[in-house]
Structure 1
Amino acid sequence: MRRSVLIASASRGIALANAKVYQATGDRIAPTYHTMSAPDGFLSVPSDITQPADIGTTFATIAEQHGPVEVLVPNAGSTRDKLLLTMSEDDFTSVLDTNLTNAYRVAKLAARRMIRLREGRILFISSTSTLYGQVGPSGYTASKTRLIGFARFLAHELAPLGITVNPLSRSPTIAAILNALGAEEIEGLAAQVPLGQPARPDEIARAALFLTSSEAAYLTGQILAVGGGAPMGH
C-alpha cells in the first residue's frame, strides 16, 4: 500500500536518506525544504516550518498531489555547541525552537488529518546524547530530551485514534559530522562505539522506516536507539 509521507526539512543528510529509503518501498514522498535546495526526484515542497500558515499550505499541497499525510517524519534540527557559561540565551532558545517547537507545529497539523483517517505514523528524530550526555551541546540535548517526552505524551493521546508516535534516538552520523570534524575526531567518536564506526544516514533511515511500518503497528511511545551499541544499558 502506497502511503503519503511528509519528511520535513529533507534537503540533505539523514532526512534525504529517509526520503530515498521510503521512496524505494513505493511510498509517495514529499520532502520539504527551506534554505537548502530541493532534492531531485520527489514532490519537493518549499516550506518554512517556523510559520504556521506556511505549514498549512504545505499539507494542502501534499494532500492534493499525494493524498492526506499518513506518515510524518520531522527532521529540522540545529545545534550551537557551547559551554554553559559562554552560551547566550538566544543560542539556547533558538535551538529549542528549531528542534522542539517546529516538531510540535508539524505534528499538530498532521495529527488533525490523521485523526480523520483513524490511522497514522509520527516519528521524531532524537539523539543518543539524551541517554548518556556530552560536553557542549546542552541546548541540543535539552531539546532532543524534551522531544522524547513530547513523543510519549502524544503516543498516549493519539493511541485510541489508531496513530502511533515513536522517537528514534540516533548517534552522530557521517553526514552530520564530516564537514565539522577532522579524521582524528571522527576516529575518537568511532572508538566509543562497540561496532567501531559512526552511523551512515541510510542505517538511520532504515530504522525509521521500520518504526513507521505495519510491522511496528503495536509499538508506540518507544525509544529506538540506533547507536552502534553505544547507548546499551540506557
Structure 2
Amino acid sequence: MTHMFVKQDVRTKLFTFQPSQCIMGRLDGKVIVMSAAAQGIGRAAAIAFAKEGAQVTATDINGEKLKELESYSGIKTKVVDVSKREQVEALAKEMDHIDVLFNVAGFVHHGSILDCEEKDWDFTMNLNVRSMYLMIKAFLPKMLARKSGNIINMASVASSIKGVPNRCVYSTSKAAVIGLTKSVAADFIDQGIRCNCVCPGTVDTPSLRDRIQARPDPEQALKDFLARQKTGRMCTAEEVAHLCVYLASDESAYVTGTEHIIDGGWRL
C-alpha cells in the first residue's frame, strides 16, 4: 500500500491508493488495425498490443489461424485480403476512427534477378508495397480528420540498408517500403501524423521455417541462416513485437520517418 499526503483546505489528509488500481497499459484506449496477424510477427504484435490495452482489429487471409487470436481480450479478427482495394476500403468504412495502422503483410521471394520471373516481381511488389499504399490511402483520411495518427510499416534490413544474396525483388520491395514511409512522414508531419518502419533481420517465424523446408537441403539451409547471425541465434517474433509496441505507443511521440533496425548486428 502506498501513501500520499495532499494539501487541501489547509488540512493535510491521508489518501491511500492500491498500486494495482493505478496500473495502465502502454496502449490503453488505442484503436489499432493491422494486417498479416495470423502468425509470425503479426500474431506476436497483435497479442502484445492487446496485452497493453489496445483494441486490435487483426486481419489476414488465413481465417483458420486468425481465429486463434479471438481467445485474447481486446482482439477482434476479420478475413481481409489487403491486396484487394475493395476489401481494404470496406474495412476502413467499418471503423469509426483509428489510432495506429500496422502494415505487416509481405512475401519473401528467393533468388537473384535472373531467378525472378515477371509474375514473381508483380506478386511481390503488389503484396509488399501496393497493399501498404492501399491501406494507408484508405485509413489516413480518418487520421487526418482527427489530426492524429500513427502508421507503422514492416520493412527489412534486406532493403536499401543491406544487400543480401538471393533476395532481389524482396529487397527491392522493402527498399520501396522505406521510401513510402519517409514520404508519408514528410507529407503529413504538420497534420499530426507519424510514420515509421520496422526493419528486422532474420526472424524465427513459421514463414521462415516453411522457406527452409522448401530448400533442396533444409538442414543445410538452417545452418546457413544460423551461421550469418552474429549473436548466434535468430530473432524471435516477440522481440520484434516489443519494438512495435514502443512505436505504437505515445513513448515514441517524437519519432517519425525513421527505420528501426532489429537485426542482432547482422548488417554490421
Please indicate, yes or no, whether the TM-score normalized by the shorter chain is above 0.5.
Answer: yes
Tell me whether 1:226 sits opposite 2:257 in the alignment: no
**Displacement of 1:36 after TM fit?**
4.5
Bigger Cα displacement from structure 2, 186-195 vs 121-130: 186-195
Question: Aligned equivalents of 2:225 and 2:109: distance in 1?
Answer: 19
Tell me whether 1:123 sits opposite 2:170 in the alignment: no
Question: Aligned equivalents of 2:85 and 2:237: distance in 1?
Answer: 29
Per-residue Cα deviation, 1:147-181 (whole angstroms, up to 9, x for no partner): 10110000001111111100110112111322322
Given the superposition, is the C-alpha separation of residues 60 and 13 from structure 1 closer, same or farther in structure 2, using an over 3 Å criterion? Answer: same
Whether the 8 Å CA contact 1:33–1:47 is kept in 2: the answer is yes
Q: 2:208 aligns with which of 174, 177, 194?
A: 177
* Aligned Cα root-mean-square deviation (Å): 1.5
Name the counterpart of 1:52.
85
Counterpart of 1:147 in 2: which secondary structure? helix
Whether the 8 Å CA contact 2:156–2:199 is kept in 1: the answer is yes
Which structure 2 residues correspond to residues 149-168 of structure 1 after superposition, within 5 A? 149-168=179-198
Q: Which amino acid aligns with 1:193?
A: Q
Bigger Cα displacement from structure 2, 119-128 vs 74-83: 74-83
Tell me whether 1:141 sits opposite 2:168 in the alignment: no
The gaps in structure 1 that reach 5 residues or longer are: none
Q: Which has the higher Rg, Structure 1 or Structure 2?
A: 2
Q: Which amino acid aligns with 2:42?
A: A
Bigger Cα displacement from structure 2, 209-218 vs 191-200: 191-200
Whether the 8 Å CA contact 1:119–1:163 is kept in 2: the answer is yes
Counterpart of 2:229 in 1: which secondary structure? coil
**Percent of aligned positions that are identical:** 20
Per-residue Cα deviation, 1:112-166 (whole angstroms, up to 9, x for no partner): 1000111111000011111221121211110000110110000001111111100
Q: How many residues align?
A: 228
Tell me whether 1:199 sits opposite 2:235 in the alignment: yes
Whether the 8 Å CA contact 1:59–1:69 is kept in 2: the answer is no
Which structure 2 residues correspond to residues 203-222 of structure 1 after superposition, within 5 A? 203-222=239-258
**Displacement of 1:198 after TM fit?**
0.7
Q: Which amino acid aligns with 2:255?
A: L
TM-score using structure 1 length: 0.92
Higher strand share: 2
Counterpart of 1:121 in 2: which secondary structure? strand
The gaps in structure 2 that reach 5 residues or longer are: 1-27, 213-217
Question: Aligned equivalents of 1:194 and 1:33: distance in 2?
Answer: 33
Which structure 2 residues correspond to residues 52-131 of structure 1 after superposition, within 5 A? 52-61=85-94, 63=95, 67-130=96-159, 131=161
